[in-house]
Amino acid sequence: MKRYQNWLLLIAVVLLAALPLWLVEKPAADADGKPAEIFAGADNRAKDLIGEIAPAYQPWFKPILEPASGEISSLLFALQAALGAGFIGYYLGVSVTREKMRRGTQHEVGCEVGHQARLEAADQKKIPDAD
């Protein structure tokens, strides 16, 4: 049951992030006739500035998948950032747990060795030397 619950929560989070971007109404076009974007980022501004500085510039490659709007681009960027943060958090959690388990194992081994040494010392005191 726990496994299905995790998948349902993951789907719910993705839907909560994606649905508002699809349901939002687009604003009217700006003065230049270009459709206004709600979440315009620095990439578009840089592209426009490069177009002003070097009008003959040709990009080196074309994207494999062109998002339909800036909102979807923002969603994909946020999703990429969230996955990266989740991976880093998972790795750090596993590393800390491994270290704690390693230290706990060493402590147990150290306790067993110390206990064994105390038993041997006690045995040596009880058994007189046969020299």
Range from 26-30, 66-70, 76-80, 94-98 carrying the lowest mean pLDDT: 26-30
Query: Does residue 129 fall inside a structural domain?
Result: yes
Once rounded to an integer, what is the mean pLDDT over residues 103-124? 68
pLDDT 10s digits, 31-55: 777 776 666 667 777 888 888 899 8
pLDDT 10s digits, 55-83: 898 888 888 878 887 778 888 889 999 99
- Neighbour-count burial for 105-117, b at 16+ CB within 10 Å, e otherwise: eeeeeeeeeeeee
Query: Does residue 64 fall inside a structural domain?
Result: no
Kindly give, in sequence order, each residue whose CB lies less than 8 Å from that of residue 88, ignoring residues fewer than 6 positions away.
Answer: none
Q: How confident is the model at residue 96 (pLDDT cuts 50, 70, 90)?
A: very high
Range of 89's domain?
73-131
Query: Does residue 80 fall inside a structural domain?
Result: yes
How many structural domains compose the chain? 1
Query: Does residue 19 fall inside a structural domain?
Result: no
pLDDT value at 131 more than 50: no
